[in-house]
Amino acid sequence: MTVSLKAELHVDGKVFELPVVQGTEGERAVDTRNLRSQTGLITLDPGFANTGACRSAITFIDGERGILRYRGIPIEELAEHSNFLEVAHLLIYGYLPTEQTLERFSQSVRLHTMLHEDFKRFYGALPKDAHPMAACSAAVGALATFYPDCLDPRDPRQVEISVHRLLAKLPTMAAYAYKHSIGQPFMYPDNRRSYVENFLYMLFGTPCEEYVVEPVVAKAIDLLFILHADHEQNCSTSTVRLVGSSMVNLFACISAGINALWGPRHGGANQEVIHMLVAIRDEGMTARQFVERAKSKDDTSRLMGFGHRVYRNYDPRARVIKKACHDVLGRLGVHSKLLEIAVELEEIALSDEYFIERKLYPNVDFYSGIIYNAIGIPATMFTPMFAIGRLPGWLAHWIEMHADEDFKIGRPRQIYDGATLTHYHEAERH
């Protein structure tokens, strides 16, 4: 909603009025879209730290107060009462489904879990030690070659089928990547199982033995997927939007999102957290020594799983995951040295002036890996699991962007600060 407030900008002795836009939770933004045509100025905001790229009705975050809501519903309530497919429906369609609607949606997703048989050769061509994120992004991109009749972002039916295919196939793709890396046969999906159980079955099952999923494990993974399902304009979601703004097909956009998520400053942090905890355990370092390294300007180490661009308070997802971590490990009877180290790191960091001053708190990645680890999921699979969780958010944003009346290709500007006109024959050579 646009309110009648205006911001004034004084430039070269002239006053320009800029509209102020307000969201439903009271956030306000100066609308600068006509700034350049009116004043010749552009905005400069490295990392888009203070730039709203769009309006969105999907997820609300208040980083100062540590609030996260999907479609208005607090994350804590969804974590307690919902399940991942219901949350996916909520994000993508904008409302909670009735029992019947959810069953129809789940059934449609179930129908698409299998991969084309040729994907076996596709995975076979990858090195055994290929990171599963690379395999997943390549496999998702390759879906565009298998479904050339479903690539038009303006065709609602093609989009809907692609959305259901992606939700269904990404867990199969991630599980295949893992099976390939350990040399075990690919397990076809078993569609009698729930979404999460099916994923665990494809990951851990073998054709030789019956695989029974422990309910506590399935519940924990479902919870983690819910907590990862969306986080408004984060790096990978913004990537999906930016790539999608060129009108390329959905598969290409999600493949790009997976790649963006892989980086250690983003979703790749969950794998890095475990590496950090294992290094502290195995190298005989104390938690305090590591915190000192993370603070030092002469050391590139960061306290992984700490800090967030938006949260200047405890990440509400980390709060839920920390509790779940204690619960799940307790129920599985796992005593984890890594959890002890993590708790100690948190205590030290939260009372350390460096972290207090910069408002650095545990984020979603700090405790999630400890749960994965206790369940027996290898560290390289942590970020693919983040991707499975985040997929509904990417899809919801992609759909919302295409329906937006302000939709246009994403194309930031820049302030050029390179060489001024230099003729070819005068240019320095080195």
Q: Could you give the residue numbers annotated as active site?
A: 308, 365
Per-residue CA distances from 395 to 159, 243, 312 (Å): 10, 13, 27
**Of all residues in this chain, which one has the CB nearest to ligand CMC in the complex?**
307
- What is the rounded distance in angstroms from the CA atom of residue 182 to the CA atom of residue 234? 32
Smallest gap from Cβ 246 to ligand CMC, in A, equals 24
Q: Which residue has the tokens 């990404």?
A: 170
By the 8 A CB rule, do 195 and 109 touch?
A: yes
Count other Cβ atoms within 10 Å, centred on residue 97: 17
Smallest gap from Cβ 52 to ligand CMC, in A, equals 16
- Closer of 181 and 271 to ligand CMC (Cβ): 271
Q: What share of the chain is helix, strand, coil (3-state, %, to 5)?
A: 55, 10, 35
Smallest gap from Cβ 307 to ligand CMC, in A, equals 2
Smallest gap from Cβ 349 to ligand CMC, in A, equals 8
- Closer of 67 and 96 to ligand CMC (Cβ): 67
By the 8 A CB rule, do 256 and 240 touch?
A: yes
Q: For 350-371, give the DSSP string.
A: HTSHHHHHTT--B-THHHHHHH
Closest CA to 138 of 246, 252, 20, 53: 252
Smallest gap from Cβ 243 to ligand CMC, in A, equals 18
Tokens of 210: 């019956």
Element (H, E) at 60: strand 59-62
End-to-end CA distance of the chain: 56
- What is the rounded distance in angstroms from the CA atom of residue 19 to the CA atom of residue 120? 55
Residues within the interface to ligand CMC (CB under 6 A): 47, 234, 265-267, 269, 294, 302-309, 358, 360, 363-365
- Closer of 346 and 365 to ligand CMC (Cβ): 365
- Closer of 109 and 345 to ligand CMC (Cβ): 345
